[in-house]
Amino acid sequence: MIPQHVLDRVVDLALAEDLEGGDLTTEATVAADARGIGRVVARSALVFAGGAVLARVFYRVDPGVRVEQRIADGELAEPGAVLMVVEGATRSLLIAERTALNFVQRMSGIATLARRFVDALPAGSTTRVTDTRKTTPGLRALERYAVRAGGAHNHRNDLGAAVLIKDNHIEAAGGVRPALARARARAPHTSRLEIEVESLDMLDEALAAGADVVMLDNFAPEALDEAIARARGRAVVEVSGGVGLARIAELAGRGVDVISVGALTHSAPSADIALDLERLV
């Protein structure tokens, strides 16, 4: 779940962005005592995510709005399915509509894409598909939740969550061995050390220096097989770098432990979700 204080911070910022000048259209056209019911509907097939976020938007606008979730996060919804129902003051429903939909369209799009990647794994595979830190600034907690709702996994949450030595760290430290040595001296004993390598020679250095996880960046298929063989039993093998849906089954079949896919968050198209409003009074 998304921590409540994180959820409120993100929702309040989004509402402030949209409502700085109020809602001229709604205030001009809708009576203050009007009431309505809105059905949040899937316009295309999707994996739903973000029910709590949508509900929080409506509650922050008007605590008197009633919100009912009809489809659980992580469930597949067919076109026309009613995902959620909101009922209350019509002005409140209209004021909250766009912000609420923006969140669930984004999150459901990510969950839907994540599910496609997970479904591409061979049956019985133990390979993990994970996201990366390539997230929308300020929305990481929501987007990473959506990845999990789609059945995939999260990589490190932030820079302080794990040691991940990449090419620029290696350059700045003076090589693979000194980078790992310095990281081992400073990192908590509970943290594993991961390092990105771009060749078999770098891999051998990393393994000899005791890396716990090796990230193979843009390895050719033949070199990848050799790298997996050399690392087997010595380090977790992660593959990264422009991995598309078509390669998931192949990489899992080769014995890769983790496939990190930045596209889960940075390239997921928003899901098609709408709010259909019905006047009650």
Q: What is the pLDDT of residue 1?
A: 85
Q: Do the beta carbons of residue 93 and residue 58 sit within 8 Å?
A: yes
Write down the catalytic residue from 35, 70, 98, 177.
98
Q: Which residues are CB-contacts of 207 (< 8 A; sequence separation ≥ 6)?
A: 214, 230, 231, 234, 235
Which whole number is the average pLDDT over 236-259?
A: 96
State the Cα–Cα distance between residues 78 and 88, nearest whole angstrom.
Answer: 26
- Starting at the earlier edge strand, list the strands of the sheet with 236-240: 128-130, 258-260, 236-240, 213-217, 193-197, 163-165
Q: What is the pLDDT of residue 242?
A: 86
State the Cα–Cα distance between residues 98 and 127, nearest whole angstrom.
Answer: 38
Residue 196 appears among annotated catalytic residues? yes
pLDDT in tens, 199-217: 999 999 999 999 999 999 8
Residue 143 appears among annotated catalytic residues? no
Q: What is the pLDDT of residue 40?
A: 98
Q: Do the beta carbons of residue 141 and residue 149 sit within 8 Å?
A: no
pLDDT in tens, 107-152: 999 999 999 999 999 999 999 999 999 999 999 999 999 999 999 9
The overall average pLDDT reported for the chain is 97
* Predicted confidence band of residue 281 (pLDDT cuts 50, 70, 90): confident
Domains of the chain: 4-118+268-279 (3.90.1170.20), 153-260 (3.20.20.70)
Residue 68 appears among annotated catalytic residues? no
Residue of 24, 92, 26 whose CA lies nearest to 55: 92
DSSP string, the chain: ---HHHHHHHHHHHHHHHHTT--HHHHHHS-TT-EEEEEEEESS-EE---HHHHHHHHHHH-TT-EEEE-S-TT-EE-TT-EEEEEEEEHHHHHHHHHHHHHHHHHHHHHHHHHHHHHHTSPTT--PEEE--S---TT-HHHHHHHHHHTT-B---SSTTTSEEE-HHHHHHHTSHHHHHHHHHHHS-TT--EEEEESSHHHHHHHHHTT-SEEEEES--HHHHHHHHHHHTTTSEEEEESS--GGGHHHHHHHT-SEEE-THHHHSPPPP-EEEEEEE--
Residue 217 appears among annotated catalytic residues? yes
Write down the catalytic residue from 35, 166, 230, 234.
166
Write down the catalytic residue from 217, 226, 250, 272.
217
pLDDT in tens, 14-61: 999 999 999 999 999 999 999 999 999 999 999 999 999 999 999 999
Tokens read off for 103: 């969140």
Q: Is the pLDDT of residue 218 over 90?
A: no
The amino acid occupying position 91 is R
Is this prediction's pTM over 0.85? yes
pLDDT in tens, 58-93: 999 999 999 999 999 999 999 999 999 999 999 999
Residue of 114, 101, 109 whose CA lies nearest to 53: 101
Residue 272 appears among annotated catalytic residues? no
Write down the catalytic residue from 196, 205, 238, 257.
196
State the Cα–Cα distance between residues 117 and 266, nearest whole angstrom.
Answer: 14
Q: Is the pLDDT of residue 230 over 90?
A: yes
Return the number of other C-beta atoms located less than 10 Å from residue 273's C-beta.
27
